[in-house]
Amino acid sequence: MNLRTTYLGLPLRNPLVASAGPLSQTVDGVKGLADGGVGAVVLYSLFEEQVRAQLEQAERDALLEEEHADLFAEATSYFPSVSAEPVETVAVKYLSLVEKASRAIDVPLIASLNGSSLGSWVQFARQLEEAGAAALELNIYFMPGDTSLAGPDVEQRHIDIVAAVKQNISIPVAVKLAPYFSSFGSFALRLVEAGADGVVLFNRFLQPDVDVERVEVVPGVELSNPSEARLPRTWIAALRHRLPVSIAATSGVETADDVVAYLLAGADVVMTTSALVRHGRDYSRVLLDGLDTWLTRKGFASVDSARGLLAVPADADAAGYQRAGYVTALEKAKSRYGSLVG
The pLDDT, as a whole number, for residue 121 is 84
Please write the tens of the pLDDT for every residue from 282-337: 999 999 999 999 999 999 999 999 999 999 998 777 677 666 665 565 566 566 66
> Which portions of the chain are predicted below pLDDT 70?
55-88, 318, 321-342
Class of domain 5-311: alpha beta
The pLDDT, as a whole number, for residue 189 is 97
Q: What is the C-alpha to C-alpha distance for residues 81 and 232, in angstroms, rounded to an integer? A: 53
Paired strand residues for 211: 216
How do beta strands 40-42 and 109-115 pair? Answer: parallel
Q: Dihedral of the CA atoms 6, 259, 112, 104 (nearest 10)?
A: -70
222: CB partners within 8 A, 6+ apart: none
Classify 133 in phi/psi space as left (phi over 0), alpha (psi -120 to 50) or beta. Answer: beta
The pLDDT, as a whole number, for residue 331 is 61
Paired strand residues for 10: 7
Question: CA-based angle 214:219:224, to the nearest 5?
Answer: 130
Q: What is the C-alpha to C-alpha distance for residues 85 and 56, in angstroms, rounded to an integer? A: 16
